[in-house]
Structure 1
């Protein structure tokens, strides 16, 4: 938990803490922050604040929050639906900002400290069995993985599911992805009510969604199996269940079906932490920039390295990814704060070094090119309906993009091991001995 309504649950860090009997880490500063050039720093900060406040993106995010993306993704044909069997949900899907605003469900906005955007909506359920529940969100990812991906269209069930995940400290993306996986197994007859503790675990059953979240949290019955995530749950269930687990490196995919913009598939496959969108997202460029073919491979490796640089740089510097100011501005702010002499290019080099370092870590832990791949649902199964009907990402297309990505990163194509000259370029000579071990 890193805020009242925010849980840093993605990737299972809470489970790691729990295994170590670690409850919390509390930090209280006792010293002032020394600014190299206060006058220049505050001038730049005021300019950045005003520019952000005046942007159209800020206006849209304030009014619609990230839930506007639900409607857009559905129209683009990239909205994960029923365990990624398709990428288009019903037109009357309630989990979008327009529905929430029209029905008075959102009653206020909420911002991170000192942020002019206030992109988060605090919503309240006014009637029905969950009346009175107040939730910050659901954000787009949560609404999609707990909603359309589980076939649940009613906002109240999805909001309740979101509230439970917040309360239990569970990742909404992996929770929704894992339950959707179980729902497909149930509908295919691979599991039955005898396995699910009597729960009718079909797509669209909001009550079943709620009950299964509780069972996962307390590791009760079938919930104890699903608590491990879809990859390990599939191994335990057997009977071909692994075919329907939608994950990369054990992490369930987020709320953008890559079959509608295949560079996103590359982003998932080569992600150092698994199936996430936080490391790279350039789907809008793929779909709307005439330079790219959304179903083609050309230029996608370069596009997503650029996206990785921008996103990783924002993480390193502590900037929100919604603040679209550009790295020339970020470099000036950093220099005024610290006395450094960074440029956009030097900041990008820092991010490239980070990616090379995390690659070395993963290689040391046993991951290799074989793990930089996509699940059969994406490579073998075509989208069943909507604007992207019939699309998939064949392995030959994925591997072509990975080859180009490795080459641009300065890694060998066989296993994605960084080349010696790459380590020297990034002043990482201390890891050259590690390369020799990896190549044996």
Structure 2
């Protein structure tokens, strides 16, 4: 939305909170609507006269309030980016950046293939600080802030002094639960969590090779980083890395679980449902 300055951002955060709206998701909707306005896909009169140009704080507040109360165009936008774009038509879906139906707002995946892969495989779509890497999923389960643990530039220095964040987690679990969890058991537990998440999704109709992806725009449209270097995702590299990620978890190349993997992880109880859904791999 091109919102510059901490004072403006600090104003918008409680403004959205008081309306009961999620900062991330609504920002994706508004930014998309701004781009549609810029490209002439939506007219000012359709926005009830709101001049929805980039960085226009007053316009942002007005459109957000319409979303909260489902007034005018807000009634469409309140359905979220995926469904609002579908209702709008007029090529609007082309500019709606979503993953698993959730607006992509926090990260630009064209800057890093690793980030793009982790964003694509996360079961519930884009979330600030969340990734599909197993260790991050484990920290989400512990209600720990993976963003603060893995992202800061000083994280490697902390590990040199205090040990890995995984060792902290193991110590914390053992202290809280009176367990004697070791690193090997921790690794198995992480895989079990990731696999169980995917099995729930598979039972409900999730198709990995179809849904573990990103919008075409990230593969087709070049952007430039602050050094003027062109960036876009290479589709072949992306697909190959997705395949390697599947294999690392004991999944087939189609992203579906193997019966033997589920048995090894103590998840025998999900096999029946996954078989009924036709979601066990044959690869």
Q: Identify whether the pair has TM-score above 0.5, normalized to the shorter chain.
A: yes
Distance 1:377 1:353, change over 3 A: same
Q: Could you tell me whether the CA contact under 8 Å between 1:383 and 1:391 is conserved in 2?
A: yes
Matched, 1:398 2:223: no
> Deviations 1:209-258 (Å, cap 9, x if unpaired)?
11111111111111111111211111111011100001101111132211
How far off its partner does 1:205 sit? 1.2
1:130-149 equivalence runs, <5 A? none
- Compare 164-173 and 189-198 and name the one that shifted more: 164-173
CA distance in 2, matches of 1:265, 1:216: 30
Distance 1:247 1:387, change over 3 A: farther
Q: Could you tell me whether the CA contact under 8 Å between 2:203 and 2:274 is conserved in 1?
A: no
How far off its partner does 1:327 sit? 2.2
Largest Rg, 1 or 2: 1
**Structure 1 unmatched ranges of 5 or more:** 1-149, 281-303
Q: Could you tell me whether the CA contact under 8 Å between 2:225 and 2:231 is conserved in 1?
A: no
CA distance in 2, matches of 1:272, 1:392: 23
Determine which of 388, 400, 422 is the counterpart of 2:261.
422
CA distance in 2, matches of 1:158, 1:277: 16
**Structure 2 unmatched ranges of 5 or more:** 150-157, 159-163
- The two structures have a TM-score, normalised by structure 1, of 0.57
Give the secondary structure class of the aligned counterpart of 1:204. Answer: coil
CA distance in 1, matches of 2:251, 2:219: 24
Determine which of 4, 23, 36 is the counterpart of 1:185.
36
Q: Could you tell me whether the CA contact under 8 Å between 1:235 and 1:242 is conserved in 2?
A: yes
Q: Which position in structure 1 is the counterpart of 2:140?
A: 315
> Deviations 1:125-184 (Å, cap 9, x if unpaired)?
xxxxxxxxxxxxxxxxxxxxxxxxx12324443322211111122111111111010000
CA distance in 2, matches of 1:246, 1:219: 22
Give the secondary structure class of the aligned counterpart of 2:167. Answer: helix
Ranked by relative contact order (alpha carbons within 8 Å, sequence separation 6 or more), the top structure is: 1
How far off its partner does 1:344 sit? 2.4
> Deviations 1:304-348 (Å, cap 9, x if unpaired)?
73xx31x22223334343356522233233223322110123122
Give the secondary structure class of the aligned counterpart of 1:195. Answer: helix
1:243-322 equivalence runs, <5 A? 243-280=94-131, 305=133, 308-309=134-135, 311-321=136-146, 322=148
How far off its partner does 1:371 sit? 1.0
1:32-431 equivalence runs, <5 A? 150-280=1-131, 305=133, 308-309=134-135, 311-321=136-146, 322=148, 326-368=165-207, 369-384=209-224, 386-387=226-227, 389-414=229-254, 416-431=255-270
- The two structures have a TM-score, normalised by structure 2, of 0.86
Q: Could you tell me whether the CA contact under 8 Å between 1:160 and 1:210 is conserved in 2?
A: no
Distance 1:435 1:238, change over 3 A: same
Q: CA RMSD in A?
A: 1.9
Runs (4 or more) in structure 1 with deviation over 4 Å come to none
Q: Could you tell me whether the CA contact under 8 Å between 1:328 and 1:343 is conserved in 2?
A: no
Equivalenced residue count is 264
CA distance in 2, matches of 1:359, 1:208: 40
> Deviations 1:360-400 (Å, cap 9, x if unpaired)?
11111112120111012212111145336421113222211
Q: Could you tell me whether the CA contact under 8 Å between 1:158 and 1:206 is conserved in 2?
A: no
How far off its partner does 1:423 sit? 0.2
How far off its partner does 1:278 sit? 3.4
1:12-51 equivalence runs, <5 A? none
Q: Could you tell me whether the CA contact under 8 Å between 2:250 and 2:257 is conserved in 1?
A: yes
Distance 1:207 1:374, change over 3 A: same
Q: Could you tell me whether the CA contact under 8 Å between 1:313 and 1:347 is conserved in 2?
A: no
How far off its partner does 1:437 sit? 2.0
